Structure 1
Amino acid sequence: MAVGSTTDIAEHVSDRRRAKQFESAIRQLDWPGLFDLYCQIEARETPGWPSGRAFEYLVLRAFELDGAHVEYPFRVTEGRETLEEIDGAFYLDGRAHLVESKDRDANVQIAPIAKLRNQLLRRPAGVVGIVFGRNGFSSPARTLASYGAPQAILLWEGEKVKWLLGQCRQGEAEARLFAKALELKYRHYVERAIPTLDVKEAMA
């Protein structure tokens, strides 16, 4: 999107202001609050949040609570032109991650994985991509992620996000479960070339 006219500039400023409001709202939530928000997302009862936005901020906040430095959804611009819209990034345990989140009522197809792969091509080697799909992933999407090397792209299903939130809500907050789950997913991808480790099964 080119930001040129007075109207475009005003809309751009308004978007940034709303993003700060979303960031402030999500940072007020702890583990029980995030679990409740996830249930509201499932029920499609998230007043004040545009479609899909609550899920984007929720997954980032979960990693922030586990100690990550988080950049909430942002735009990459050149001059007044938007080149990319990024669902978020975070830095945890010495590794950088770029995030794509999809809150859909159907499985995520290949397009978001292809989009993230292209974004990773513009960034330093070693940045890990993660696609969060609230309702899982199609078989073609899983296959594409498996053959995304040298770009590493992990796939994370929404039901596993909810399970981890439930564990943290029940008193496991100090265990850094999201950080541990991510490390397990990454190691599994390195060793097995499979980006879809079931963290619930692996951590049971």
Structure 2
Amino acid sequence: MTTGTEYEARIKTYNWKELVDLWSQIESGNTPGWQPGKALEYLILRTFQLEGYDVTWPYSVRIDGEELEQIDGVIYNSGLACLVECKDTAERANIEPIAKLRNQLQRRPVTVIGSIFSRCGFTESATNLARFISPQTILLWGGDEIAYAIQNQCISMALVKKYRFCIERGLPDYNITVEGLL
């Protein structure tokens, strides 16, 4: 079984073109050499790293030897701290990852936000739950947005746009492919 350190070393060699290719494999559900879901986690973190973010790769939080949380990653840039949660399934993500991330955020300083990246998007129930979390701290990313951000090398700009929209409108689901980045 491949370790997190081995995945990290592998993904750090990827450039934008290789990330676009990996995204195509993720979309088709065919990621040889990656355990289920791991390719998406490392792809998302690498895209932010390529745009200058500091990245904390996937890790577990343990208390008294017991695993309390499994974190898919954290990104930092210019005072922004964001927990990352990834869902690489053939179905739209339901409320579970939103509830999980909400609980993780409740254990962190109030300035930390979260982003959930879902290859197939979100159910209506999940989107509704994310819209009514208080305080509003979770941003939603569908597969079309992930593809757009990777292909256009603009994930940083997209995150800022989504975050500003959430601040101004109180909504976590601004779609960069529909609404645009400018």
* TM-score interval (norm. to shorter): over 0.9
Task: Pick one of 145, 151, 170 that aligns with 1:193.
Answer: 170
User: RMSD over aligned Cα, in angstroms?
Assistant: 1.3
Unpaired runs of at least 5, structure 1? 1-14, 169-176
1:110 to 81, 84, 95: 95
1:61 is aligned with what amino acid? R
Give the Cα separation in 1 of the matches to 2:170 and 2:160. Answer: 14
> Alignment partner of 2:31: what SS?
coil
The 3-state SS of whatever aligns with 2:83 is: strand
Deviation, 1:45, is 2.2
Deviation string, structure 1 residues 50-105 (Cα, Å, up to 9, x no partner): 01110011011111111110011100012321111011111022110001100011
**Aligned partner of 1:66 among 19, 43, 51:** 51
In the alignment, which residue of structure 2 is the partner of 1:202?
180
Distance 2:69 2:175 in 1: 30
Letter in 1 for 2:73: G
Deviations 1:25-60 (A, max 9, x none): 111001101000000112222111001110011011
The aligned residue for residue 144 of structure 1 is 129
The answer on 1:37 being equivalent to 2:22 is yes
- What are the residue-to-residue correspondences of 1:1-80 with 2, within 5 Å? 18-80=3-65
Query: What stretches of structure 2 of length at least 5 have no aligned partner?
Result: none
The one-character-per-residue Cα deviations of 1:109-139 (angstroms, maximum 9, x if unpaired) are: 0011001000000000110011111100011
**TM-score normalised by length of structure 1:** 0.85
> Residues of 1 paired with 2:181 and 2:80: CA distance?
21
State the Cα distance separating 1:151 from its structure 2 match: 4.7
Whole-Å separation in 2 of the counterparts to 1:64 and 1:144: 30
Which entry has the higher C-alpha Rg, 1 or 2?
1
